[in-house]
Structures are given as structure tokens and as C-alpha cells.
Structure 1
């Protein structure tokens, strides 16, 4: 604009525009349904998975090979001949079918030993959790101490004791020690403390139920997850038991599967012994099938049994 004096009025310069502040993207709140991902944890899980499944893969592939195929083929791949069915048939017929006898022995040790250990653990854990009596703290200390002692440390004293009463080389030498499960007793003690409300037991007693009826009709159904958990642990421990039968048994007719397969594996080292590594591998595969089936069928009870009592309401 031109004034009367002929000078031009200048406008003040506009201030420079400032850049708009960049807003930080809000973090999504953590929710249990959408947990955060950890690359390190994923990698470690994958490594543990491979480490766990690789021996099982080798066992399955090796069970399809003959005695010659085990040495001429790569361990993690098939041989040119698939002899799985032939290996299974020969495993059950070799040495007059002694493998079937070992299998029945193992089932007997599991049913009587592991089943009895589970029953005693349920009864003892329920009594220790829901009844007060003198010496309860001493019993707790003994149970904790027994859990800390390895079973192999008690094998030799157990053998000396059983040899004096004449029970060695009999099935009772394996069954009786299997009836004691300090870890199962402690697990049922902790589980029964949280799983059985005291008010529910008092209501049953007010209604006139005896202690025996209260246990079987009120407490035992609530203890089912913990019972299955203890049963699985004792079953695996008895099924895979090797050291105790090794020092207790001399008669091959009373061998469990672990000791019998070890005898087959070692017979190639004796003079004139026949190498039957294909039967050892096939027998090992047949040995783990019942355990895998038991875990898969009872998995839901096992998971709930381990997590019961872990959250305080």
C-alpha cells in the first residue's frame, strides 16, 4: 500500500511454522488372551522340542530296519527295506516269546506297585491335610527328607534287608519298594489342602456321614486330578525302573522290560552271543507306546492336577 509520502509499508514477517509434534503410538495393554511374543523364548522352545523329538524320531526310523540295515543306512532316514512288521513279530517270538513275559511282568509291577503307591499317597495325603494329630510336624519333616533322598542311595540297604528275609529274586522285591512314593504323598498332601473345603466335610458330618463315606463320596471325587497326576508319575517311575530290579532279580522270568532289553543288548558282547540290536530298538519302541498313550489320554487331568492350588482366590 502506498501512502501520501510515497513510501511502501511493509508487513511483519510471519513466524516460521513449527512442525507438528509426533505423537507416540500408544502401547497395547497386555491381556492374557494376547500375550507378548518373545523371540528368545520361541527359539529356546524350538531347541528343546527338537532335542526331545530327535531321539524319538531316530527310534521310530531304526525300528523299521533290519540288523544289517542299522549299520548300512543313515540314522535319521529309512533303509531300502522296511522291516517294521518283521521286527515286531520277531521281538515277540525271539527266545520262546520271553518279551511277552517281560511285558506282563512290567504290567504287574505297574498295576500292583504304582497303583498301590497311588492309593497310599491319596490316603496319606488326605489324612495329613485334613486331620490334626500329635507329631504332624515331624511327619512333614520326614516326608520332605524322603523326597530329597535319591532312590539309588536306598537300593543297597533295601537289598540287604530283603535278602535277610528271603524276598530277593521274587516279584515282591520290586513291588514292595515301589509302594512308597514320598513325592506322591507330598503332592497329594498339598493338593488335598486346597482342593477339599473343610466346610464341605463338616456339612457331610452334620448330615450323618461317617468318615469313610465322607472320604469316598465327598473327598475322593475332588481329588481326582491329583490322583491321576500321582498315578502318572508313579507309573512312569515303575515302568522305567532299572536299578532296583537289576540288584534284586536274577531269574530272567521275572525281569521287567528295562532289564530284559538290556540283557538282549549285552548278549552281543558275550562269547558266541547273537547281536539283535534291531530287536532291542523295536522292543524299546513298543515299550514307550503305552506310556505315550497314557499321557495323551490323561493329559487334561494331569494339567489340572499340576495347576490346582496355584492361584489364591
Structure 2
């Protein structure tokens, strides 16, 4: 028997209804693709910003290299980004190391000791302090670490005059220790060391070392410190750069030219060229500035693989 027309209509009606209420599917990707991209996100704008940043960083260095190849007449009479007509770099270097009985070499040696030895000792102190904050539990730990973070927020130039007043009380003004000892304090390094310790040294490894009978110092030097070595190098680079570029503290602390770091000595030469009418000191200041950045460049090039791995380790917790 064939079904009645009413039954056919009744059976087909839900299917028709389902087709009507079913919404049309629209891909979200198509909707996003139809929107115009903001102009500031375009590749041209990004490349322009990068080009300006690179030019801002490199142009002063290019000018310094070009100026170091000139004699006094070319320095004031030629384009700043053109080399000297006689390429006097060798003569300028010879004049630099012979000026004032070789005082520049003394300044460089002072700076290497201030920055090199100071950065290594400061990094060791920071690594031990950061390791202790991370792995040990003691009363008032977080409050003490809050004081360390407070030290991070205070700029070093703001502490130069109080440091000078404290040094004058104990007789350390115009001495090597008056500049060297403040460089051993690096609150930001303690903060970094705690992050490195938390991300690089598993607690299970320390527990295993203690079960084997190792003391705390042996555990730190033989087990933990090899894992923290990339972080140690990173802190050394940070503090080495900070001490090498330090200017205000030596300015207020030192009066003996034989104790000057290179930055302060170059400032003195530039000042005498301006105020006392010694234009030849311009060449000393310019050539000395070029030589003073060479150790920094060599240090970063030789330790860059530790720098990259250390920054990566400290960024992951």
C-alpha cells in the first residue's frame, strides 16, 4: 500500500526544516584575511626601524674609526666619515702610548684590573648568594631578597657620593680599593644568579650529592657550579661592562692620575683640549677611545657562546 500524501508531507517536513535552520559555515581565516593589515606592521616599516637602530649603534663607531686615521688638520678640515688623507692611525697610536710617559697604558692596566678582577670576584659572590637564596631556606629569606631587588632599582650614579663619604671615613679615598671594592656589589647579578640556579640545578642532583657524603661547599663547587657556568659568564660580562664604563665614581673618588681608569683619563684629555687650548689632546682622546673599546669587543666575541646559552637558561624557569 502506498503512503498517503499527508504522511509524505509529514515525513519530509523535518528534513526541509533542518535545511532551513542550518547556518552557513564561514571560515574564520577568510574573515581575518579580508581585514586590511595595519601599516605599522608592514615589512617596510619594521625594516626601517631596524635600519635606524643599526645606524644609531654603528655610526658613532664608524666616525671614531675614521677620526683615528686623521692628523690634526684633517680632523677639523675633512668630512667626519671619511678617512684621513695620509691615514695617520699608526702615528696616532705611537703618539698615544708615548704621551705623558705612557700614562695611557697605565690607565688601561688600571681599568683591566678594576673591571677584569672585579667582575670575576663580583660574579662569584653573586653566584653563591643567588644559589643560597634559591636552594636554602632560612628565616627572613624573602625579605632579604627584597632588599637585593631594592638595590637593583637604585642607579649606581646615585650611590657614588654616599660611597665617597663612607670611603672618606675609613681612609679609602684616592686609593685602588676605593674604586675596586664598590665594583664587587652587583644586586642585579644576585637576582640573575637565583634565576639561573632555579632553572639549571635540579634539587634531586643536590640530594644525590649529599647522600654520597659531599658537603655543601663540595656540592656547590663540584656539582652546582659546572651547571651554573653559563650564568656565571653572563654575570661577568654584565659587570665587566658596567665597571669598564664606570665614570662618576672614579671621578669623585680619585685625584691621582696614576690610579685613573681609562674613561676618566680620556675625559681629562678632552677637557684640557677644550679649556687649556691643547688641540693635540683631541687626537689622544679620539685614538684612546678607539683602543679602549677593543677589549670589550674581544671579550664579547670570545665568550658569546656562553652568553647566548646563559641568557637562554636564565629565561626559562
What is the distance in 2 between the residues matched to 1:259 and 1:249?
A: 9
Query: Could you list the runs of 5+ residues in structure 1 that have no partner in the other structure?
Result: 1-24, 28-35
- Counterpart of 1:277 (choices 271, 282, 303) is 282
Deviations 1:47-69 (A, max 9, x none): 11111111111011111011111
What is the aligned length?
283
CA offset at residue 285 of structure 1? Answer: 0.5
CA distance in 2, matches of 1:271, 1:215: 56
Q: Equivalent residue for 1:211?
A: 216
Alignment of 1:1-313 (within 5 A): 38-271=43-276, 273=278, 275-311=280-316
Q: Name the CA shift for 1:162/1:91 in 2 (closer, same or farther; >3 Å).
A: same
Shift of 1:37: 8.6
Contact kept, 8 Å, 1:63 with 1:278, in 2: the verdict is yes
Whether the aligned pair in 2 keeps the contact of 1:109 and 1:174 (CA below 8 Å) is yes
Asked whether the 8 Å contact 1:267–1:275 carries over to 2, the reply is: no
1 or 2, which has the higher helix percentage?
A: 2
| 5+ long unaligned stretches in structure 2 | 1-28, 33-40
Aligned equivalents of 1:308 and 1:230: distance in 2?
A: 13
Q: Which moved more, 1:206-215 or 1:240-249?
A: 206-215
C-alpha separation in 1, matches of 2:280 and 2:70: 14
The verdict on how the C-alpha distance between 1:155 and 1:137 changes in structure 2, with shifts beyond 3 A counting, is same
User: What TM-score, normalized to structure 1?
Assistant: 0.86
8 A Cα contact 2:192 2:314, kept in partner: no
For residues 68-94 of structure 1, what are the alpha-carbon distances to aligned partners after superposition, in whole Å with 9 as ceiling and x for unaligned?
A: 111011001112110001101110001
Whole-angstrom distance in 2 between the partners of 1:309 and 1:270: 48
Tell me the secondary structure at the aligned position of residue 173 of structure 1: helix
Contact 2:231/2:314 (<8 A) preserved: no
Give the Å deviation of 1:193: 1.0
Structure-2-length-normalised TM-score: 0.85
| Structure 1 partner of 2:16 | none
After superposition, the Cα gap between the structure-2 partners of 1:113 and 1:310, relative to the gap in structure 1 and judged at 3 Å, is closer
| Paired residues of 1:67 and 1:276 also in contact (CA < 8 A) | no
Output the CA distance in 2 between the equivalents of 1:74 and 1:274: 18
Instruction: Please give the alpha-carbon distance, in whole angstroms, between the structure 1 residues aligned to 2:259 and 2:87.
Output: 33
How big is the shift at 1:41? 2.4
- Deviation string 1:195-221 (CA, Å, 9 cap, x unpaired) is 100001101111111111111111001
Distance 1:174 1:40 in 2: 45
